[in-house]
């Protein structure tokens, strides 16, 4: 019997991360899926919900506490994977978030919002990936993914030919301060653009190690990321989060192996 692939997904108790786990659970292949969650309780709730939604799954689920903004938490998570599994086949750096609305509401200073955006979306992924590398290199088919954003393309900041691009690239009226509307994204999209470069650096570093590397751009999905509710997001074009989960399962299963080192969308490569 073949050894199960060990898959660790951060931020897996909710949103896109949850949908990735659910999609993997529906696969015919059996995996050891590690649900990374800041709260063990919320992780266990997610695992229990998945057990009800996909009772026939051949995969096993377990919860690992991880806060990617804490080096101590990251080290404990990696140590746990090492002691229990001895290897890691797939690392999905999914944990992320936006703090632009908190900045807009005056709950964070500009420096706080930008530093938190970078720390959560990039630094956490960098630390976790670095500490996990010895375990990934023990895999015969290691895969490393960074979840980025469709808003992070520099080239597409000049495009207005799609409703979503027309909205996020629109220039507000003259004057100061600027009104960025209900879904400001400057700090978030800037951080995710940086994450794309981080992916390219890992692709460069690991090119001779056989580790497959991507940035995953799952598309505009109705998750809790924007802080304005799924229904509001759907009203402006967001798709069901399950589409993102199925897309990332395809990457795990090798269907996008010919596009390593790229920012990939469901049906295309995202421009830089």
Positions annotated as catalytic residues are 149, 188, 192
Give the separation between CA 146 and CA 214, rounded to whole angstroms: 6
**Cross-sheet strand order for the sheet of 263-264:** 60-65, 31-37, 5-9, 90-93, 143-147, 212-216, 263-264
From 54, 15, 70, 10, select the one nearest 34 (Cα to Cα): 10
User: In what helix (H) or strand (E) does residue 251 lie, and over which residues does it extend?
Assistant: helix 241-252
List of residues 6+ apart from 21 with CB closer than 8 A: 9, 12, 33, 35, 46, 50, 61, 245
From 2, 13, 136, 4, select the one nearest 82 (Cα to Cα): 136
Distances (CA, A) of 29 to 91, 135, 175, 191: 18, 21, 57, 35
Give the separation between CA 214 and CA 16, rounded to whole angstroms: 17
Give the separation between CA 15 and CA 12, rounded to whole angstroms: 7
- Tally Cβ neighbours within 10 Å of residue 120: 21
From 22, 168, 170, select the one nearest 98 (Cα to Cα): 168
Residue 143 tokens, joined: 């895969």
How does DSSP classify residue 89?
S
């Amino acid at each position: 019997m073949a050894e199960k692939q060990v898959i660790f997904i951060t931020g897996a108790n909710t949103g896109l991360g949850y949908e990735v786990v659910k999609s993997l659970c529906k696969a015919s292949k059996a995996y050891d899926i590690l649900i990374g969650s800041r709260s063990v309780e919320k992780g266990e709730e997610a695992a229990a919900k998945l057990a009800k939604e996909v009772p026939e799954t051949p995969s096993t689920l377990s919860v690992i506490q991880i806060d990617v903004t804490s080096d101590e938490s990251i080290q404990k998570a990696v140590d746990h994977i090492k002691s229990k599994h001895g290897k890691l086949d797939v690392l999905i750096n999914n944990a992320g978030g936006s703090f632009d609305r908190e900045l807009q509401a005056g709950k964070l200073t500009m420096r706080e919002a930008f530093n938190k955006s970078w720390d959560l979306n990039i630094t956490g992924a960098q630390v976790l990936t670095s500490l996990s590398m010895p375990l990934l290199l023990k895999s015969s088919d290691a895969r490393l993914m960074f979840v980025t954003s469709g808003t992070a393309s520099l080239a597409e900041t000049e495009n207005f030919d799609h409703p979503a691009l027309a909205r996020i690239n629109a220039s507000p009226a003259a004057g100061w301060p600027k009104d960025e509307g209900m879904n400001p994204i400057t700090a978030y999209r800037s951080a995710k653009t940086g994450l794309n470069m981080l992916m390219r650096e890992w692709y460069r570093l690991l090119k001779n190690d056989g580790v497959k590397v991507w940035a995953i751009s799952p598309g505009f999905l109705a998750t809790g990321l924007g802080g304005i509710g799924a229904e509001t997001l759907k009203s402006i074009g967001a798709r069901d989060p399950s589409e993102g989960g199925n897309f990332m399962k395809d990457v795990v299963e090798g269907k996008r192996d010919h596009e390593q080192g790229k920012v990939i969308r469901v049906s295309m490569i995202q421009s830089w």
